[in-house]
Every structure is written in C-alpha cells, then in structure tokens.
Structure 1
Amino acid sequence: MVAAATRQQIVEAADRLFYERGFEATSFADIAGEVGLSRGNFYYHFKTKDELLDAVITHRLLKTRSMLDIWEAKSKTPEERIVSFVNLLVVNQAKIMAYGCPVGTLCNELAKLDHLAKDRAAEIFSMFRHWLSHQFIAFGREAEADALAMHILMRSQGVATLAAAYRDEIFVRNEVENMRAWLAAQRPGTPVLPETLS
C-alpha cells in the first residue's frame, strides 16, 4: 500500500513538472526531489523516464475520463456538457496563461522529439474528440458531429496558445463567450456546413 501511494506521488509530481517545465527538461532528480525520495528509491518504482511518461499519460487519461463522466452525470443536456468543456479555458486560465494547454504542450513536445509516446499522448485529444462528437450527436447535429467536435477542439487550442503568448485574461473570457454563442448557433434548425464553422 505504501509503495502504491509513493508511486502515485511520483506520477503526480512528474505530471506537474512535465507540464510546467516540459518532458525533456525534467530530470529524475527533479521529480525525486519533489517527492523527497533518494534516487535508489525512485528507481524502485520507475526504471526509465519513458516508463514514467507512460504512467503520466495513463494518469491524464484516467483523470480526463473521470472529468467527462462527472460532466455526463451533472449536466442535463449535451449543450451544457459542451459548455463544461469550453469553460475549462476559464477554470484553468491561470495555468494555461503560464504554461499553455497541458495536452497540447505535451503532444507538441513529443512530436518535436519524434518520441514513441507521441501517439499515445494524442489519445487524450481523441478522447475529447469522441466525447464532443457524441455530445453533438445528442445535440441533434449527427451529420456534422465530428466536424463540429474538431472545430471546438481547434478553437480551444488556439485560445490556449494565444493565452500563453499574451497572458490576456480579457481575451480568454471574450473567446469563451464567443464559443458559447457559436455553440448556441449550432442548435437544431440552424444549418451549418463544415466549411463555415467559424
């Protein structure tokens, strides 16, 4: 039980440091220092950095799945659930302005490194894409569901990137309001073609 708790502490510390400093810039020593472990004790839990990265991605996938399940349980309509996704930009605004989107930054870094885990990290985006598509189907936009899901994913990533570049709270809040207005315009009866999603 103690070993499992220590392993979880390591994964959570690595998750935070990979986000704040980047995967490549974070060493085992950095993570061991955060958790208060000797290198020997650290290596008992993780032999390689790639093994730890895999555990961090699994941790993020589980957290994301849990968050989506909570939105499903708490929100009565698909529109409310999609708004919960959009609102992440405001809920996590301070961190996004400081470090960018945790999913996007990790995917970008691993792609630049041509790391074997790059596709696995992108599974988090795929999870959001599938879930958003499902919401748009329930919303009555079955024919365009995947295009609409990709549009809102793209738009949220653009906002996160510019939020990190400019650190402008007003910009983030305005864009979230614009995304909510865009979503309201997607209600059934309003024809929208994938080419004119903006």
Structure 2
Amino acid sequence: MRKGAETRERILEIAEASVLAKGFGATSIEEVIAEAGITKSGFFYHFKDKNELARALMLRYVEENDRIFDDVFHRGRQLSDDPLQSFLITLKLLAELMGDLPNGHPGCLIATFTYQERLFDRTVRDIASDAVRSWNGRFRDALNEIAAVYPARKGMD
C-alpha cells in the first residue's frame, strides 16, 4: 500500500472508531488529524470536507459488511445443501459474530449515521439505504429458496 493510501486508511480507521464511540457530529476533524499525526492540509488532501469523509466511511463500511455477509452465507451453504438448514446455520454464524462485538465487528456505522442523518448529504444517505436494501435482499432470497422447498401449509399474505 502506498503511503498516501496508508494515510487515508489510517484516517478512516480513526474516524470510524470515533464515530462509533460518540457519533459523527461529536467527531471533529481536529481530533482525527491529531490522532493520525497529520496536518489539516494532509486531511484535506484526502477528503475535501467532513461529508466526503462520511461518504468514504460509509462506502468502506458497506464493502466490509458485504464481505462479511458473503462469507457467512457462503459458509452456511457449504455446511448444508438444504436451504432451511443453510439459513439457520447462517443465522447462527451471524449471531456468533455479533456476540463477539466489538472484537469481530466494531459496531453499526449505518445505525450511528441514521441517528444523525441531517448531518449528511443525499449521497451518504443513499449509500446507507442502498446497502440496507441489498442486505435485506440477501435474506429475502434465502427465505424464497426455503419457501420453494418448504411451501407454507396455510395461505399467507
């Protein structure tokens, strides 16, 4: 990783930890640059403003969570060919991951951002909304696979 990319990643790590600990509004650029050991101009080289930092944080968070979901759903499918059993295994793996907070997963940046949504531009809100819809789609697809193999005994709305 190049030095610039390393600095950007360090800024994102520091900012994410601070945002998860106390919220985006209470996280200052000055605090982030002090902990990162960079100048203010160094920060603005990577992010033009705090909203751009929020976009980068959200994109990074979504990418990491997509990877986590890919992994647990894949592991569930590897452990059972039956869609119901596979889904139950996936839920157990997710529960174990969440049970190990904050070691396995630092917390939910989307939930933190949702509480302060007025601080962000439309792009940040759209990234969060699209991510949640995508994650919901994963679960809906799994439930549809189950329904195809195990039809409901009674009619459902």
Residues 13/93 of structure 1: CA separation in 2 closer, same or farther (3 Å cut): closer
Contact between 2:11 and 2:32, CA under 8 Å: does it hold in 1? yes
One-letter amino acid of the counterpart of residue 150, structure 2? P
Partner of 2:16: 15
What is the alpha-carbon distance in structure 2 between the residues aligned to residue 39 and residue 56 of structure 1? Answer: 18
What is the alpha-carbon distance in structure 1 between the residues aligned to residue 12 and residue 120 of structure 2? Answer: 22
Residues 51/81 of structure 1: CA separation in 2 closer, same or farther (3 Å cut): same
Percent identity over paired residues: 20
> Matched residue of 1:122: which SS?
helix
- 1:90 deviates by 1.5
2:53 maps to 1:52: yes
> TM-score, normalising length from structure 2?
0.76
What is the alpha-carbon distance in structure 2 between the residues aligned to residue 8 and residue 192 of structure 1? Answer: 52
What is the alpha-carbon distance in structure 1 between the residues aligned to residue 92 and residue 67 of structure 2? Answer: 17
> Matched residue of 2:116: which SS?
helix
- 1:94 deviates by 8.5
> Matched residue of 2:150: which SS?
coil
Contact between 2:8 and 2:46, CA under 8 Å: does it hold in 1? yes
> Matched residue of 1:25: which SS?
coil
The alignment yields a C-alpha RMSD, in angstroms, of 3.0
One-letter amino acid of the counterpart of residue 98, structure 2? L
- What is the correspondence of 1:68-83 to structure 2 with a 5 Å cutoff? 68-75=69-76, 76=79, 77-83=86-92
2:42 maps to 1:41: yes
> Number of paired residues?
147
Residues 39/56 of structure 1: CA separation in 2 closer, same or farther (3 Å cut): same
- 1:71 deviates by 1.1
> Matched residue of 1:141: which SS?
helix
* Structure 2 unaligned blocks of 5 or more: 80-85
* Structure 1 unaligned blocks of 5 or more: 143-186
Partner of 2:116: 109
Structure 1 runs of 4+ aligned residues shifted over 6 Å read: 93-96, 192-195
Contact between 1:23 and 1:106, CA under 8 Å: does it hold in 2? yes
Greater relative contact order, per chain length (Cα 8 Å cut-off, separation 6+): 2
Contact between 1:79 and 1:135, CA under 8 Å: does it hold in 2? no
What is the alpha-carbon distance in structure 1 between the residues aligned to residue 154 and residue 119 of structure 2? Answer: 38
One-letter amino acid of the counterpart of residue 38, structure 2? L
> TM-score, normalising length from structure 1?
0.62
What is the alpha-carbon distance in structure 1 between the residues aligned to residue 130 and residue 47 of structure 2? Answer: 22
